[in-house]
Amino acid sequence: MTLSKITPLEAKRLVDDGGVLVDIRGRDEHARERIPGARNLPLGSAVKVETSAPVVFHCRSGGRTSANAATLAQAANSEAYILDGGLDAWKRAGLPVVVDRTQPIDIIRQVQIAAGSLVLLGVLLGFFARPEFYLLSALIGAGLLFAGLSGWCAPAASWAALSARGPTPSFKGAGGLSPASSPPWSSPSASTSSPRDFRPFWVTPSLSRAGSRPFPFFRPHCLGCC
């Protein structure tokens, strides 16, 4: 089963009439920039959108929704669509978005920044110090080429593996997120729509308190290695 694509204006009319807008991007991407009222259902989560209202799925540019249309169609038990062009098209149409620059940038962008920095460092050290440092840039370039061809990025996968797994979300009617299961560290009073705790084992709670982050655009546990 495939899903039909609709324009941002058509999606806006559906949502205004009671439709459900579902953002399939990661929670970090959703926290930093999102469409007002959109529910976050990260791609790969074992969830269903249980509502009789029309459902509109979106990602950043439309690539992820189009590539996973069959999976998304099974996740909805009602009329469902894909937002053509995703969040980028929504913004180009002049429709409102919520931007929170205090949130950390997503993992993929962190990897891109780190990889670019290492390539530049290798070139500079190779030119000014020893030619052997060019090998660093070559290795990073080979890794990025492999990631692009295979669709698997080792640094991002390792980063995600070290991250704590949050509750599995599901949608009940037009309401918000409700966890299908809760991790042992969550409290009953915790908000079910809160982002996952991405702190790995080597970060103590005292290092992740509000206001203690030395790098505001990175997660509290980011050591700048990826």
Alpha-carbon distances, residue 99 vs 12, 34, 57, 208, 216 (angstroms): 18, 7, 19, 22, 15
The count of residues in the chain is 226
Burial-class residue 88 by CB neighbours within 10 Å (0-12, 13-18, 19+): middle
Tell me how far apart the alpha carbons of residues 95 and 89 are, in angstroms, rounded to a whole number: 9
Pairing of strands 33-34, 98-99: antiparallel
Task: Select which of 59, 153, 222, 226 is catalytic.
Answer: 59
Instruction: Specify whether 222 is catalytic.
Output: no
Cα 222 from Cα 206, distance rounded (Å): 15
Which long-range CB contacts under 8 A does 221-224 form with residues at least 24 apart?
222/104, 222/110, 224/114
Sheet holding 177-179, edge to edge: 49-50, 169-172, 177-179
Catalytic residues: 59
